[in-house]
Amino acid sequence: MGRLSVNLCGIELDNPIIPASGTFGFGYEFAELYDINCLGTFSFKGTTKDPRFGNPTPRIAECKNGMINAVGLQNPGVEKVISEELPKLKRCFNKKVMANVSGFAVEDYAYTCERLDKEEQVGWLEVNVSCPNVHGGGMSFGTNPEAAAEVTAAVKKVTTKPVIIKLSPNVTDIVSIAKACEAAGADGISLINTLLGMRIDLRTKKPVIANKMGGFSGDAIFPVAVRMVYQVANAVNIPVVGMGGVSTAEDVIELMLAGATAVEVGAANLVNPFACRDIINDLPAAMDKYKINSLQGIIGGCK
């Protein structure tokens, strides 16, 4: 393994940097800007069983040190992802990709994961039980240990590839949910998804986004991510993928010290489309600065 390499659920990554779902499309859009094969991997756009148009507009609200989004899992549905999106991706990305899956019933998650599990390009299934901006789905599973475990078990029954459960920070006890997922067979945990936020337009006296509330992301949530990654990594015996407000190489190192095996970068991609490439390029100098020989060796190094 190289200095930057890590092993995520049995698959070696050249580096731990993973663009987060919802901020990198299906990859080929960013491939027009730079060679995305420099990435460890990426988590593609959240995919559901059936096509979704998403929430009504406006869907985005600016915030200090962040943003709120309520896109609502707009995607073409799993069949078109398999028949149209993955073939386009294959032309520009030669590594395993992380498939991000959402659902509105346990059966939806199982169906979509079973279909994607059969795709040679897919290396991991990131099962999102934590979406805060969709009515009637997603986060309702991620805020309850029993419900999260039920989704985990159902997906594991129909898949062969590593299943990573993506958890919500909008809970009082993140550890109990993570442990329930581990007990149900999860191969990894990813966190944190966005916090629930809201903005009000002072001129109209109405919410800025049509959905009223949405997912708050960006630099401001980074300390929450560090805390929750640390708590979960010290409570489970499976890998943790950390994310939440990451925008620099130093942020990556901090989350890995907290216990993350790999690190997803989300909102930063929307500010700077070269963010992940730049972080990867900056990592060796940051490692030298802090006398780090290998990233694999610092995982969970904060005690």
- The residues that are catalytic are 131
Token duo for residue 177: 């949910």
Asked if 293 contacts 3 with a C-beta cutoff of 8 angstroms, the reply is yes
Burial class (CB in 10 A: 0-12, 13-18, 19+), 26: buried
Report the distance separating Cα 165 and Cα 16, nearest Å: 18
For residue 224, give the amino acid letter.
Answer: V
Print burial letters for 232-259: b (CB count within 10 Å at least 16), e (below 16). Answer: bbebbebbbbbbbbbbbbebbbbbbbbb
Residue holding tokens 């896109």? 71
48: closest CA among 121, 97, 107?
107
Report the distance separating Cα 134 and Cα 196, nearest Å: 11
Round the CA-based radius of gyration of the chain to a whole number and report it.
Answer: 18
Token duo for residue 133: 């901006």
Q: At what angle do helices 174-183 and 222-233 cross, to 10 degrees?
A: 50
Q: At what angle do helices 145-157 and 174-183 cross, to 10 degrees?
A: 30
